[in-house]
Amino acid sequence: DLFFIGRIAKMKNLIFTLEALKVCSFKIKFTIYGPIDDFSYWQKCKKIINDLPKNIIVVYKGSVVNSDIENIIKKHNFFISSTFGENFGHSIAESLANSTPVVISDKTPWQSLHKFNAGWNFSLNNKKQLVELLIKLNEMKQCEYKTTQNSSLNYYIDKHEDLYKKHIITYYKLFNV
């Protein structure tokens, strides 16, 4: 059970994820949360969604209230994002903080997730890599998943403070030049 939470916009690169889902032969449920910032981009996403095989179920839930985010995250197994870039990645951090492993592009500050068993990074130059990760998730045993959940929270605790400091320093430099 995958989910994405964020703006529906070209920068978030949702189409990359949807196209990777096309070739998966096993059942996947993918729930999308967030406001539509780019209506024409969402139309392209909907066209792909409508053409997905029957084993792929995509549900769009729309915008959410911040106070509901924690409960939304806990309803799903994996956060997925094929973003073109993040300065920090709040939805990634919130997922990890709620023991939800992440499957994200290599264009975020959250790197080397596999080394910490907290999730996986994939290259936007290699859609096959994402498909292989989706297969791995589908084949994951419950005990492996529980270990990855625990590792996700531990990774967040270990890395969050360092990333947060870098994020704040970057903004401080940006506005105090």
* C-beta of residue 21 within 8 angstroms of C-beta of residue 134: yes
Tens-place pLDDT, residues 80-130: 999 999 988 989 999 999 999 999 999 999 999 999 999 999 999 999 999
Cα–Cα distance for residue pair 9/36, rounded to 1 Å: 7
pLDDT at 171 over 70: no
pTM value surpassing 0.85: yes
Tens-place pLDDT, residues 7-62: 999 999 999 999 999 999 999 999 999 999 999 999 999 999 999 999 999 999 99
Tens-place pLDDT, residues 138-163: 999 999 999 999 999 889 888 766 66
Q: Which of 74, 73, 45 is nearest to 60 (CA)?
A: 45
DSSP code for 89? -
State both tokens at 102: 């992440």
Looking at every residue in the chain, the average pLDDT score rounds to: 92
Tokens 């729309």, residue located: 62
